[in-house]
Amino acid sequence: MAFQRYGRVQFVKLPLQASLRCKIDSAMRDNRDTVDSRYLFFRTLIDVILVIALLISIALFEFVLVLPAQRGFFCSDDTLYYPVRPDVVSAKTLVSIVLLIAMSILFVVELKIHRSQSRSQRNPSRFSSKVPSFISDFLEHFMFFLFGLLLTVNATEVGKFTIGRLRPHFMDLCQPQMLDGSTCKSPENHLRYVEQYMCTAEGFTVFDLISVRGSFPSIHSSVAFYALVYMSIYVQHKMTWKGSKLFRHVLQFILISLAWFLALLGLKTYTHHWSDVVCGSLLGVVIAVLTARYVTGDFGTHRVGSRTDFHGRDTSASLNECGAEVAVKHLNEENIN
């Protein structure tokens, strides 16, 4: 190592061996970054395939390829004689609402975090250097949210098709008739448990007659509580605002209150029993907490293990750092001598 002194400034000339070693180290880092990027691509692809598989399983239920269990009833059961009321919010509309709320909160919060950080503090994009890091973070958290949402819908559908509980408006919608031609108005059927019957009501579709056996658990309750409890947990971990300490908690209260309101609509329209709403709400809360705890993890921008693995490294910076380390080492030796 040769040193040239000009006043107080020292210029360091790196030997050829040290420079070559730095170039080899930088090439090895670039190769490792390429391998890590490929690994990330395949991992993301597998996650997408799993989400598609969950969507397919939901489609099997929705297109009635699986029929709910045929459950009997007592003609004297007063909980089945409520009138038919139209849904205030359909299941499809409910899913659209919670998706819009989740996407809006995720986008705004991730954008705010991105703008508040300096360039050196920002984590690299998971997908491509051309994709802004906050878009990458938004898509990652939305994937976690969507995964838990699909699990919630699947778990709810399994309950519906396994139990086959009759809705409170079953009698009004179905108007069942026994195989012997009698109805529940006949005196001999007052205390009779009926298992074999056919619906004689007019003006209803086949889907309505199948859906009338899907009361337990309430999908409005499970989806609403999963989505809005999960977003409340997300807000707790990610949102900070110096302008008000209470703003975050007010937002959480609004989210939970909206979930409670959407769950109660099933009781208002006589499409669910109170126990359907309670069990659906508990199901949504449990899946939200488990998803936040074990799928999303610490709610960091990236999970542990991928924070430093998937980013490029400037070759010139690596050479300068390597050269600086060698120079400092020789300067220290010279001072000691």
Residues 5 and 57 in one domain: yes
Model confidence at 318: pLDDT above 50: no
Residues 6+ apart with CB under 8 A from 82: 168, 169, 172, 270
d(CA 297, CA 303): 7
Asked if residue 145 and residue 88 are part of one domain, the reply reads yes
Same domain, residue pair 84 and 94 = yes
Residues 194 and 78 in one domain: yes
Q: 198 pairs with which residues across the strands?
A: 177
55 and 110 co-located in one domain: no
3 and 84: one domain?
no
Total domains in the fold of the chain: 2
Tell me how far CA of residue 210 lies from CA of 4, 98, 118, 266, in angstroms.
89, 26, 56, 17
The answer on 141 and 29 residing in a single domain is no
Of 97-106, 146-155, 205-214, where does mean pLDDT reach its minimum? Answer: 205-214
Q: How many residues are given for the chain?
A: 337
Bridge partners (DSSP) of residue 216 are none
Q: How far apart are CA 219 and CA 159, in angstroms?
A: 10
- Do residues 77 and 165 share a domain? yes
Q: DSSP labels for 38-58?
A: HHHHHHHHHHHHHHHHHHHHH
The 10s digit of each residue's pLDDT in 254-298 is: 999 999 999 999 999 999 999 999 999 999 999 999 999 999 887
Q: 39 is in which domain, residue-wise?
A: 1-65+314-337
The answer to whether residues 197 and 276 belong to one domain is yes
- Tell me, yes or no, whether 261 and 321 share the same domain: no
Rounded to an integer, what distance in angstroms lies between the CA atom of residue 191 and that of residue 181? 17
Token couple for 328: 């400092």
Judgement on whether residues 91 and 105 belong to the same structural domain of the protein: yes
User: What pLDDT is recorded for position 269?
Assistant: 93
**Residue 3: pLDDT above 80?**
no
Answer yes or no: are the C-beta atoms of 170 and 72 closer than 8 Å: no
Do 157 and 207 lie in a common domain?
Answer: yes
Token pair, residue 185, equals: 């108005």
Of 202 and 147, more confident: 147
Q: What angle do CA 80, 85, 89 make, to 5 degrees?
A: 120
pLDDT tens across 120-172, in order? 555 555 555 566 677 888 888 999 999 999 999 999 999 998 999 999 999 99
